[in-house]
Amino acid sequence: MIVGIIPARFASTRLNGKPLADIGGKPMIQHTYESAKKSKLLDHIVIAVDNDKVFEVCKSFGADVVMTPEDLPTGSDRIAYVAKKMTEAKIIVNVQGDEPFINGKMIDQAIEPFLFDTTVKVSTLVKKIDNIDDLKSDSIPKVVFDYNNYALYFSRSPIPYMRDASNKKEWLENGEFYKHIGLYVYKKSALMRFTSLESTDLENLEKLEQLRMLENGMKIKVVVTDYESFSVDTRRDLEAAREYYESIKNKRSNK
């Protein structure tokens, strides 16, 4: 059984009450849930919450929702808390709650390696960087991977470093750079191992929890997607999400 779990933390540092933020008359968490439902490979979807109001809102639009402890440190810990009790779940998909427009095909792309290769234990998505702003932004993690599409390293800095390039424009013209999209797929045993590990040196330096897996010898399969990610982390992101939703709605009404 392949289960998608959407962690929804109420007390976000940069955008408090984020799961309930209104986008076109619906709370953001509902948009994420409805987008994830378009996946063809997910057998079931659960929302993992830490707030009574979010719990009731999720129930109101028909979601399977589970209350989790408020003090869990990360979304990964929240999905592990839920997954541990799901005895039939073999593969767990961490769908970020702040991705209201995630394409169902992206979720399926991340799951597909598990269908053909029994050695894959963790997978994630990346997209080729095509602009200098994304390359320079420290809020967008970058990743380098080997010839078998397994991650070598994640960083907030542009990697790999192009020593002979004189500017970032040359970097994009002469090299390939990939940004990480924070959707993960785990074998249940790998998720449980990951969340049982102590935080690591590189993880604490970069503030990227996936480095904990690499530092402990866990392999992460990288899947390249052409679909764009739209994460809502700040008030500015929320306004952009509202504008994007209105543009989609207008295109549909004009057809």
- Chain mean pLDDT for the chain: 93
Burial class (CB in 10 A: 0-12, 13-18, 19+), 101: buried
Between CA 255 and CA 252 the distance in angstroms is: 5
Paired tokens of 196: 């049982």
88 versus 13: the higher-pLDDT residue is 88
pLDDT band at 19 (very low <50, low <70, confident <90, very high): very high
**pLDDT, tens digit, 9 for 90 and up, residues 206-249:** 999 999 999 999 999 999 999 988 888 888 889 999 998 888 87
**pLDDT, tens digit, 9 for 90 and up, residues 22-50:** 999 999 999 999 999 999 999 999 999 99
Write down the pLDDT at residue 252: 67
pLDDT band at 253 (very low <50, low <70, confident <90, very high): low
**pLDDT, tens digit, 9 for 90 and up, residues 139-182:** 899 999 999 999 999 999 999 998 888 888 888 888 899 999 98
Q: How many CB atoms lie within 10 A of CB 57?
A: 21
CA 62, chain centre distance (Å): 23
245 versus 186: the higher-pLDDT residue is 186
Helix, strand or coil for residue 42? coil
Write down the pLDDT at residue 254: 63
pTM for the model: 0.92
CATH architecture of 2-253: Alpha-Beta Complex (3.90)
Q: Which residues contact 219 (CB under 8 A, 6 or more apart)?
A: 121, 122, 150, 151
